[in-house]
Amino acid sequence: MPDIESVKLLSAAFGITIDALLDERSEEYLRQTERDRRTILLSLASSLVYLFVALAGIVVDALSYRFLDSTTAGAIAIVVDILRFCLMVPWFVLGFRASAIRNERHIRNAVDTMAFLEGYKPGSTLPQTFLWRRLLPHWDAIVFITWAIILVLIFAPLFAMKMG
């Protein structure tokens, strides 16, 4: 049996109340919390992979149609489309599961998501680092600006190549 200080530390580490930790269902709750965290992380990772492949596919398609004959370029486009579809399925499923977890746990934004992934209890004091104070509260704007820059960096050369 752990002492009371160990129980407090375990409670804080897993982001649950002491009552929930001592309850007979606490072990299942902890396993479910860990599965939920893993699902959200996998959802984020699959989003990055899918978006990277989608952007790379755009570039590959454009370059293949520019420098290869139409039959070969068409075959490459089909392979790229199949790859995109194969990656879209897990991305969609994980995104749906992660969305359900966020709704169930009342996770509304990037700060809440990071707090859950880090094991902070709702309403607890969060670190006052640059990440927590400056980046996470503005995460949607940062993502939008990043994607705008990426799209310009990809499509400007492709457009220039098409015009040239």
For 14-25, the pLDDT digits (tens) are 777 777 777 767
Which DSSP string do the residues of 100-146 spell out, in sequence order? HHHHHTT--SHHHHHHHHHTPPTTPPPP-SHIIIIIGGGHHHHHHHH
Which residue in the block uniquely carries the two structure tokens 């940062």?
A: 142
pLDDT of residue 119: 86
For residue 61, the tally of other CB atoms under 10 A from its CB is: 17
Whether the CB-CB separation of 126 and 108 falls below 8 Å is answered with: no
pTM of the prediction? 0.73
For 41-93, the pLDDT digits (tens) are 999 999 999 988 988 998 898 889 889 999 999 999 999 999 999 999 999 99
d(CA 70, CA 96): 38
Whether the CB-CB separation of 87 and 81 falls below 8 Å is answered with: no
d(CA 108, CA 47): 18
- Two tokens at 25? 């269902």
d(CA 94, CA 163): 40
Category of 16 on φ-ψ map: left (φ > 0), alpha (ψ -120 to 50) or beta: beta
For 90-146, the pLDDT digits (tens) are 999 999 999 999 999 999 999 999 999 998 887 788 899 998 899 999 999 998 998
* Largest interatomic CA distance in the chain: 75
- Secondary structure letter of residue 1 according to DSSP: -
Confidence of residue 29 (pLDDT cuts 50, 70, 90): confident
